């Protein structure tokens, strides 16, 4: 991942985002108010190997794991670059950053990783520590953020449907570096009981994802397999029916992996939309 600067934005409940600071990676950028001297937490640090399920026989068991980064804590050491001719004093620059801490009751802050004017990835979180060396001829601040999601992700979901086709949904993700979930909306074309979805990387010994429910033609199925936002429900005749409690025991939620993906849907349906976030372990 190539980045040239980092932007700090607040995300108030009003939905109107505000850019509070641009952290330049160029130490000679005299026109910039904030120069990033160092950063930690933009790599995955500790990777947790969490047991997920076991398949196979008692004599030859195969264990499945979910690999996740530990809670992501990002720290920026920032040089304040005053310009007194423009009334850009160290105090004013600090105040701008202070306003991020509690800009509203959520305190949500978004760290945007930029390559020129392109947003490569984002992290969302909140400020948990703010340190400043006051009365120094070379003023700096150190800000620590606790992120609400451990992976770096694209700002918005990448839509790759409905050009995909059933029963084998195949596509390539050559940009992401980490596995992640997807968002799928499909319409069933016929009645079916206990439909099955088989994910990439789950063969040959994983239990497929099975929904123990009687579906009807024209049901709209919403399937979200993001590990921190899983959801499963249908719309039927104007009603919403939640189905997470109907997932078969030991089912493995399908994911998108870097590279080629093949997700098989074992029932008659048509894709309305299929999308996912580009997802990264680190910079």
Q: What is the radius of gyration, based on Cα positions, of the chain?
A: 23
Q: What is the mean pLDDT of each run of 10 residues along the chain (283 residues)?
A: 94 74 88 94 82 57 68 95 89 93 86 96 95 89 94 95 77 94 94 89 65 96 92 96 92 91 89 95 94
pLDDT of res. 24:
94
pLDDT of res. 132:
94
Q: Which residues pair with 169 in a beta bridge?
A: 263
Query: Three-state SS string across the chain, please?
Result: CCCCEEEEEECCCCCCCEEEEEEECCCCCCCCCEEEEEEECCCCCCEEEEEEEEEECCCCEEEEEEEEECCCEEEEEEEECCEHHHCECHHHHHHHHHCCCCCCCCCCEEEEEEECCEEEEEEEEEEEEEEECCCCCCCEEEEEEEECCCCEECCCCEECCCCCCCCEEEEEECCCCCCECCEEEEEECCCEECCEEECCCCCCCCCCEEECCEECCCCEEEEECCCCCCEEEEEECCEEEECHHHECCCCCCCCECCEEEEEEECCCEEEEEEEECCEECCC
Contact 141, 20 (CB under 8 A): no
Which tokens go with 114? 């930029």
pLDDT of res. 153:
97
Residue 118, C-beta contacts closer than 8 angstroms, at least 6 positions apart:
none
Question: What pTM value is reported for the model?
Answer: 0.87
Which tokens go with 75? 């720290």
């Amino acid at each position: 991942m190539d980045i040239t600067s980092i932007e700090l934005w607040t995300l108030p409940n009003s939905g109107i985002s505000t850019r509070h600071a641009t952290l330049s990676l160029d130490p000679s950028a005299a026109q910039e108010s904030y120069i990033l001297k160092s950063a930690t937490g933009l790599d995955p640090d500790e990777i947790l190997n969490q047991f997920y399920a076991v398949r196979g026989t008692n004599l030859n068991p195969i264990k499945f794991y979910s690999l996740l980064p530990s809670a992501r804590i990002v720290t920026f050491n920032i040089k304040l670059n005053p310009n007194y001719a423009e009334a850009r004093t160290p105090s004013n620059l600090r105040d701008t950053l202070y306003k991020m801490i509690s800009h509203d009751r959520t305190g949500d802050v978004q760290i945007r990783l930029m390559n020129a004017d392109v947003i490569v990835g984002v992290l969302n979180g909140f400020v948990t520590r703010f340190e400043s060396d006051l009365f120094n001829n070379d003023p700096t601040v150190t800000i620590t953020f606790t992120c609400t999601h451990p992976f770096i992700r694209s700002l918005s979901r990448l839509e790759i449907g409905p050009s995909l086709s059933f029963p084998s949904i195949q596509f390539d993700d050559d940009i992401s570096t980490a596995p992640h979930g997807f968002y799928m909306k499909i319409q069933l074309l016929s009645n079916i009981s206990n439909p099955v979805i088989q994910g990439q990387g789950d063969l040959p010994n994983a239990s497929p994802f099975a929904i123990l429910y009687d579906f009807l033609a024209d049901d709209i199925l919403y399937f979200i397999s993001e590990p921190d936002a899983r959801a499963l429900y249908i719309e039927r005749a104007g009603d919403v029916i939640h189905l997470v409690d109907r997932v078969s025991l030991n089912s493995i939620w399908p994911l998108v992996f870097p590279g080629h993906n093949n997700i098989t849907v074992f029932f008659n349906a048509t894709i309305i939309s299929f999308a996912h976030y580009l997802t990264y372990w680190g910079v």
